[in-house]
């Protein structure tokens, strides 16, 4: 049962970003409170990024795996 190789790369990329989120939330909570962009805290930005990234990678996959 072959899965397109690109699917696994995209999965690995998302997993990395997700694990990064868990790690920052659990072990560097101070970082989550900083406001790096647009006056919004990293906690919100990172969360919204994870939601947007899921859709972007999924849409990208449709284009890449034909």
Partner 1 sequence: MVYVTSPLAVGVFLAFVLGVLALSWWLGRGATSASGYYAAHGQIHWFVNGIAFAGDYLSAASFLGICGMIAFYGYDGFLYSIGYLAGWIVALFVVAEPLKRMGKFTFADALDARFQSRGIKLAAAISTLVVSLFYLIPQMVGAGVLIKPLLGFSHASGVLMVGIVVTIIVVTAGMVSTTWVQFIKGGLLVAFCLLLTVMILRRGFEVPTTLPVTPVSVAEVERQGPTIVDPDWPAATWLQVQLPGGAVHTYRRLPDGRARLTQVVTTGPDGTRVDGVPQGLGDGQHDLTPIGAVTALPGGVTRTGPLGPMAFLRTFNEATIETWTSERRELSGGRIATVYTPRTQTGADLLQPGASPTFRGVRSSALFDKLDFLSLMLALFAGTASLPHILIRYYTVKDVMAVRKSTVTGIGAIGLFYVLTLYLGLGAMTSGALDVTNTNMAAPLLARSFSEPLFAVISAIAFTTVLGTVSGLILAASGAVVHDLLTHVVGMDLTDDAKVRAGKIVAVGVGIVAMLLGVAFEKLNVSFLVGWAFNVAASANLPSLVMLLFWKRTTKEGIVAAILVGMASSLGWILCSAQAFKDVYGWPPETAPVPFSQPGIVTIPLGFLVLVAVSLMTRPSERQMASASGS
Residue 53, token pair as written in the block? 């990234």
- Encoded one letter per residue, x for contact with partner 1 by CB under 8 A and - for no contact, window 10-29 reads xx--xx--x--xx--xxx-x
Q: How far is the CB of 7 from partner 1 (least distance, A)?
A: 4
Identify whether the C-beta of residue 61 lies closer than 8 Å to the C-beta of residue 8: no
How far is CA 53 from each of CA 8, 11, 43, 44, 47, rounded to the nearest angstrom? 15, 11, 15, 14, 10
Q: How far is the CB of 56 from partner 1 (least distance, A)?
A: 10
Instruction: State the Cα–Cα distance between residues 3 and 65, nearest whole angstrom.
Output: 10
- Binding region for partner 1 (CB under 8 A): 1, 3, 7-8, 10-11, 14-15, 18, 21-22, 25-27, 29, 32-33, 35, 38-41, 43-44, 47-48, 50-52, 54-55, 57-59, 61-62, 65
């Amino acid at each position: 049962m072959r899965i397109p190789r690109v699917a696994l790369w995209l999965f690995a990329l998302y997993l990395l970003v997700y694990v990064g989120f868990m790690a920052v939330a659990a072990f560097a909570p101070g970082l989550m409170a900083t406001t790096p962009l647009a006056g919004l805290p990293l906690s919100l930005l990172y969360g919204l990024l994870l939601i947007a990234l899921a859709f972007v990678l999924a849409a990208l996959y449709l284009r890449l795996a034909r």
